[in-house]
Amino acid sequence: MSSSNEAPRQLIVLGDSGVHGWGDREEGGWCQRLRMRWMNLPAAPVVYPLGVRGDGLERVASRWRSEWSCRGELRRQTPGGLLLSVGLNDTARVGRIDGRPQLEVDAYAFGISQLLGEMKREIQVFVLGLTAVDEHVMPFAGCLWYTNRQIAATEAALAEQCREADVPFLPVHQEMQEEPNWLTWMEPDGIHLNAEGHRWLDQRLDQWAPLRQWAGLALHNTSTPISM
């Protein structure tokens, strides 16, 4: 364990209901799984899951600095890392399947570019891609239409802005759909992952080299296939 005068590093995880863990009734979501796993490793950073259901880019941009700055466990200490997972809610079209998305891709790209620039000046940033949706059960909540085409375009813009900012990015959308049974990982609402989906995403994060290296954890190859 860390000595009494050595503060543990901290990882802030900001985002929406995915970070919150909605849909995982077994272990509380991929972020909670990460928190619990690292808690059992004496040298691993402390994880703060700060997901809010319904949040999009604008809401996260408005709250990130206050969320980040108040998590220091010792005087004048601030967290060392921030994992960002936001954008899925920005892709939703309101009222009709061909309506305008909450944020057009260009507006999302501009906003995420600004946000990454601000964050990088303060903290080490990591970014998670966007999960797929089951389009057959849309609309969500009777009025929000999510499509994988819009999500793919938004994740592509996110990936490009991460490259421009030299921020580690973990793609999710296409990789998830390449799994043969990915639709069984969805909640009935079509947008939230169930326990199996959260487990899959947690396994990808567990093997993500940039995050493990920052956390001071050795790379390993112990991931096991998800039981179907």
Domain ranges of the chain: 10-215
Residue found under tokens 């999960």: 131
3-state helix, strand, coil in the chain (%, to 5): 40, 15, 45
Count of alpha carbons within 13 angstroms of residue 8, beta-carbon side:
18
Please report, rounded to a whole number, the percentage of residues in the chain having pLDDT higher than 90.
Answer: 61
Strands of 30-73 (E only): list them: 46-51
In this predicted structure, the answer to whether residue 36 has a pLDDT above a threshold of 90 is yes
Summarised one tens digit per residue, pLDDT across range 168-203 is 999 999 999 999 999 999 999 999 999 999 999 999
pTM: 0.89
Q: What is the pLDDT, as a whole number, of residue 224?
A: 43
DSSP conformation class of 137 = G
pLDDT tier for residue 154 given thresholds of 50, 70 and 90: very high
Q: What is the pLDDT, as a whole number, of residue 84?
A: 96
Where residue 192 falls (left for φ over 0; alpha for ψ -120 to 50; beta otherwise) is beta
In this predicted structure, the answer to whether residue 225 has a pLDDT above a threshold of 60 is no
Considering only CA atoms, which of 172, 150, 203 is closest in space to residue 30? Answer: 203
| SS3 call for 49 | strand
Q: Are strands 93-94 and 144-145 parallel, antiparallel or unpaired?
A: antiparallel
Pick the CATH number of 10-215 from 1.10.10.60, 3.40.50.1110, 1.10.760.10, 3.40.50.180: 3.40.50.1110
Question: Average of pLDDT values for 117-142?
Answer: 92
